[in-house]
Chains A and B, each alone.
Chain A
Amino acid sequence: MQSSEREAEEALALFGIDKELLKKWRIEKICSSFWLMSKDIKAFECFNIQTKGLRILEKTKLGLKPTSYGLQLLAPHIKMRTIDLSMQELLSIIKGIGVEKNAEDGYVAIRHKGIVLGCGLAKNGKIYSQFPKALAQAIAELD
């Protein structure tokens, strides 16, 4: 196993995602991101490749940040670093207002009514949104 692949597995293990589970797929590091893809995916050089599989982790100043789409896909396997937010709290974080929660600093999986919605950041006792624009917009429109 390459060290980069191990790095990704360790970042996902923080969420309780079993390393064995990840063996079902292939993880590739492309620039500063990690991509999850089907085990037997085949790329052809004659095509101008833009993306391959699903981006699951991005390198940031704070370490590896899981993508919201990655967390959603792996939702049934996430057992740790979850934060449950009410609709009112969700609406606050997508407006950029931190919501007070007792959580260790770092990236978290934000849930609402038991559904993993995406990635958040816990910092100094507050939770902030790391949702992609489309998801944040969909939540805002529920208001």
Chain B
Amino acid sequence: MGRETLFRYKEIIPDFDAFLQAIKGPRNVTIRWNPHKITRERLLELLNESFEVVEEISWYESAFRLGPNDRPGKSLYHALGYYYVQEESAMVAPLVLDPKKNSIVLDMCAAPGGKTTQLSAIMENSGTIIANDKAIPRLKSLVSNVSRLGCLNVIVTWNDARFIEAKELFDYILLDAPCTAEGNLTDIKLMPTHMRESLSRIQKALLAKAYDLAKPGATIVYCTCTFAPEENEQIVASILNSKNVRIESLHLKVPHEPGLESFGSQCYGSELKKAARIYPHHLNSGGAFIAKLRKGS
């Protein structure tokens, strides 16, 4: 049997033609300012000297859009940690989590560290971020990025987060779950169904663990970079139905669609509309699913 394609989502993605075009076309090149190393004004000066196109992004003052042929990852200023090359869609989840200064944060699947370093910037290098990952090669890139960006509030840890034996430690938890990464596809073919099913089981276990590790009243943000409802709404619905947790509305400044109430024969409930789906054509960036949960007191 042939592999499924993105047409699986034709019924749930409004403006499907624009979506397909964005999948196949080039994505915006975007960077995020690192306040630990340089002021925004000085970075803007250096960017204007180095790149032909430098556009400020209206919804997030730390982000800049460069020209399609620019390679910011090759610049000296990148090596100096003045910025992080990051897709716009990936910058949204840490803003939704919005940890306060001096709080205790867990980034459960942190490598390569884009969201970790953004959280560190939001917290102004205060408090604690446990940046965890389970794969050693990915940990190397995480450590390298955290060092390059001068993050002083990050502890890098090596665990399979599903099996951490602890309870109620964190004020904020970001679970950027391993997923089929359909949001980064440049082709219409999807991963085999068995991979989606296997990842779905892992995501469910990770989110249950996030619940255990969160303090009462803590915020948990669950996100992926895939479109599959089995890895998104289904996972969130499962925890809403089994634990003392509620989903909160998002007030995003970026274009997006609400989460799905159902897909095929599966019903997830009307509360799931509070989640957000960012499709590639929204920001000419990758795809993302984001849900904000609050653990009951």
| A interface residue numbers (CB < 8 A to B) | 25, 36-44, 46-55, 69, 72-73, 115, 117, 134-135, 137-139, 141-142
Contacts and interface: CB of A to CB of B under 8 A. Distances in A.
B127 interface: yes
Contacts of B143: 50-51
Given A40-B126, A41-B128, A44-B130, A138 B78 contact: yes
A54 B125 CA distance: 11
Contact of A51 (B74, B148, B156, B165): B156
Contacts of B193: none
Contact of B76 (A50, A51, A53, A139): A139
B36 interface: yes
30 contacts: A25-B152, A36-B152, A37-B153, A40-B128, A41-B127, A41-B152, A43-B155, A44-B169, A46-B164, A47-B157, A47-B159, A48-B159, A49-B157, A50-B139, A51-B146, A51-B154, A51-B155, A52-B155, A52-B156, A53-B151, A53-B153, A53-B155, A54-B146, A54-B150, A69-B147, A73-B152, A134-B144, A138-B76, A138-B79, A139-B79
Contacts of B80: 72, 115, 117, 135
Contacts of B156: 49-52
Given A47-B159, A134-B79, A41 B147 contact: no
A138 B75 contact: yes
Interface of B: 36-37, 74-76, 78-81, 102, 104, 125-128, 130, 132, 139, 143-144, 146-148, 150-159, 164-166, 169
Contact of A73 (B36, B154, B155, B164): B36
Nearest to A52: B155
Contacts of B169: 44
Contacts of A54: 146-147, 150-152
Nearest to A116: B80
Name the residue in A43, A44, A49, A55 with the highest tally of chain B Cβ atoms < 10 Å from its Cβ.
A44
Given A40-B102, A142-B76, 17 more contacts: A41-B152, A41-B155, A46-B164, A46-B165, A46-B166, A47-B130, A47-B159, A48-B157, A51-B156, A53-B152, A53-B155, A54-B146, A72-B81, A134-B148, A138-B75, A138-B76, A139-B79
